[in-house]
Chain A
Amino acid sequence: MGPLSKKETHVRRSVPTAGKLPQTLRGFGLALMLVFPTVGLADACSNGCKVLSRDGGFQVTARPALERLPLRRHHDWIVVVQDGDGNPVKLNGLSVSGGMQGHGHGLPSQPKVTEYLGEGRYRITGFLFNMHGEWTLRFHLATPDIQDVADLTLTLDY
């Protein structure tokens, strides 16, 4: 894709999924996010980043398959797609685009969906990040009835 224009960009700040953490820990995590709004390369989305699609039809939870998110190295992500009620969705189409708005360039690679793992889970290979800063990943989602996009904003730092 080309550089994301302001018109087509619909960025939602990603929020790491809280899972079953105790409420106090969730609050503590929120406090940390407010103090350090960027995430370390080592930890970026390691517990999954969850975003809602633009029209609200899908919830997308994405996490790198590696424990540590690397710079300058191809790696896989696991993406879980659910409907608004939290039920897994088997899509007819899923693709990824994105880039760095601040630098006016797209992704340095073209990630590909290579495997459906069941229960709305997909393996996407070929992610590559080659600089720190704010990246947008756009997931294009399609079922026979719905087409939507979900934008995940990811800030990588040392």
Chain B
Amino acid sequence: MVSRIAQCLILGVLLFIPVAHAELPGNFTEREHRILKSLSLAALGPVPPSPSNRVADDDRAVNMGRALFFDKNLSVDGSLSCATCHQPEKAFTDGKPLAEGIDRTGRNTPTLYGAAYLDWLYWDGRRDTLWSQALIPFEAPSEMGSSRVGVVRRVLSDPDYQENYRSLFGTPPEFDWESLPDHAAPIGDTVMQNAWHRLRRGEQRAINTVFANIGKALDAFQRTLAPPETRFDRFVSALNTETTAPIAVLATDQELRGMKLYMDDQRTQCLRCHNGPMFSNGGFHNIGTGKFSGEGMDFGRVFGLQAVLMDEFNCLGIYSDAEPDQCEALGHVSQDPHQALHGAFKTPSLRYLEKSKPYFHDGRFSSLEEVIRFYQTPPDQGRNRIHELQAMDLNTEEIVALVAFLKMLN
């Protein structure tokens, strides 16, 4: 038996070692080639269904959502729209460390490219659908500062919106606008909250229904924001044709060195979290950037988890169009807020970094070199500083190469 295994071992080595180490154009191994293909936009696939939103793929909802997205009249003072922070020319970010609405917020604005593929929205995953996410900025005092009553009032008083709404969702509830306050919401300042709690339950439900539907139109529009192809995607496409010439045109030697470093588990481990076509695994990871006291305090996912479970607009809530078993992410959310969730944030995409800087949940780094230096010397581990990082050890030339590769994703 032992000799038979030995024979087979030799046979296995002879048969498979040459294949495993075969070099493709660009001197990539088969494994590296598989990784590169998995990172390309060609592997992204169609936008996944949104079962909680029955109008998610309706063109009329897309058009209504587009109008809502750019409508400044939905903010409390008419000065801000969704596009104020999510600017199309900046990959739907704003170029600021922390988003600025009515006031400065506590988080960096993430790109909307690829958002339709995410199970969790916000850096802490406090929302599980794109439409429920879209509702928060309307009411956040530091963002658009309005309220659900204010937003519903504005939308249903506009003839165009009203027509769109009717065609998508049917006749809206009839409200006695004379008796309703200008603004009312269960969050926000005490005036808004008191006004909300004075409404009858039926009125609250009707307002919430229209408010949720406004979010669903915004969801439909944002689902159309397809991530643009980059030079990296064209490079992988050329690689698949197994010709060397286009590869040399599409990537420099320095970029190729950076690419190989990116895929090297021993040297960088980038790929562990920044994987897949959006260069993000969509998960929550603790890299030691949480802040547990003082100014800028941010616990990350541990509170986001509680928020999404309590959200009345989540996939399992009464305003969702999904059957419970269609809410895969929320239905299987890990509810154990163990230590790693304290200070964990969602892995951001590495696409379009030039347009989406600065970086990290609090916009603390303005250059990719700074980000890589952070990974070279991660924070010390301690009682309140438990994280997943192992220090990288790249020399200056390697750092430059890695940055050069990341810039192929712009």
Q: Do A and B come from one complex?
A: yes
Residue of A with least CB distance to B274: A131
Given contacts A31-B9, A133-B272, contact A108 B338 (CB under 8 A): no
CB-CB contacts below 8 Å: A1-47 with B: 1-3, 23-24, 27-28, 30-32, 34-36
* Mask: chain B, 330-352; 1 = CB below 8 Å from A; 0 = not: 01111110111000000000000
Cα distance A111–B328 in the bound complex, in angstroms? 10
* Mask: chain A, 61-93; 1 = CB below 8 Å from B; 0 = not: 000000000011010000000000000000000
Contact A126 B386 (CB under 8 A): no
B226 is an interface residue with CB less than 8 A from chain A: no
A115 to chain B: closest CB distance in Å?
12
Contact B336 A1 (CB under 8 A): yes
Which residues of chain A have C-beta atoms less than 8 A from B8's C-beta? 24, 27-28, 30-31
Most central of B5, B8, B271 by chain A CB within 10 Å: B8
Contact B388 A112 (CB under 8 A): no
Contact B11 A35 (CB under 8 A): no
Which residues of chain A have C-beta atoms less than 8 A from B175's C-beta? none
CB-CB contacts below 8 Å: B273-300 with A: 273, 275-276, 281-286
- Interface of B with A (CB < 8 Å)? 1, 4-5, 7-13, 16-17, 20, 31, 34-35, 38, 265, 271-273, 275-276, 281-286, 328-329, 331-336, 338-340, 386-388
Contact B4 A27 (CB under 8 A): yes
Q: A24-B4, A30-B8, A71-B281 are in contact. List 14 more A-B contacts (CB 8 A).
A: A27-B7, A28-B11, A31-B8, A34-B12, A71-B38, A105-B285, A106-B338, A110-B334, A110-B336, A111-B332, A112-B331, A132-B275, A133-B265, A158-B34
Contact A72 B334 (CB under 8 A): no
Which residues of chain B have C-beta atoms less than 8 A from A109's C-beta? 329, 332-334
Which residues of chain B have C-beta atoms less than 8 A from A111's C-beta? 332
Cα distance A130–B340 in the bound complex, in angstroms? 16
A128 is an interface residue with CB less than 8 A from chain B: yes
Given contacts A24-B8, A30-B5, A71-B281, contact A106 B340 (CB under 8 A): yes
Given contacts A1-B338, A27-B4, A27-B8, contact A72 B332 (CB under 8 A): no
Which residues of chain A have C-beta atoms less than 8 A from B276's C-beta? 71-72
Residue of B with least CB distance to A40: B34
Most central of A36, A108, A157 by chain B CB within 10 Å: A108
Which residues of chain A have C-beta atoms less than 8 A from B340's C-beta? 2-3, 104-106
A150 is an interface residue with CB less than 8 A from chain B: no
Cα distance A105–B10 in the bound complex, in angstroms? 38
Contact B11 A31 (CB under 8 A): yes
Cα distance A111–B406 in the bound complex, in angstroms? 35
Cα distance A23–B1 in the bound complex, in angstroms? 9
Cα distance A32–B8 in the bound complex, in angstroms? 8
Cα distance A128–B38 in the bound complex, in angstroms? 17
A137 to chain B: closest CB distance in Å?
14
Which residues of chain A have C-beta atoms less than 8 A from B285's C-beta? 105
Given contacts A2-B338, A3-B340, A35-B13, contact A110 B333 (CB under 8 A): yes
Contact A72 B335 (CB under 8 A): no
Contact B5 A27 (CB under 8 A): yes
Residue of B with least CB distance to A105: B340
Residue of A with least CB distance to B4: A27
Closest 10 CB pairs of A and B: A126-B332, A2-B338, A130-B281, A31-B8, A31-B12, A31-B9, A130-B283, A109-B332, A74-B328, A27-B8
A4 to chain B: closest CB distance in Å?
11
Contact B338 A128 (CB under 8 A): no
B363 to chain A: closest CB distance in Å?
24
Most central of A1, A28, A107 by chain B CB within 10 Å: A28
Cα distance A106–B339 in the bound complex, in angstroms? 10
Contact A104 B388 (CB under 8 A): yes
Given contacts A34-B9, A109-B333, contact A2 B339 (CB under 8 A): yes
Cα distance A126–B329 in the bound complex, in angstroms? 8
Which residues of chain A have C-beta atoms less than 8 A from B5's C-beta? 27, 30-31
Which residues of chain B have C-beta atoms less than 8 A from A28's C-beta? 8, 11-12
Residue of A with least CB distance to B12: A31
Given contacts A71-B281, A158-B38, contact A35 B334 (CB under 8 A): no
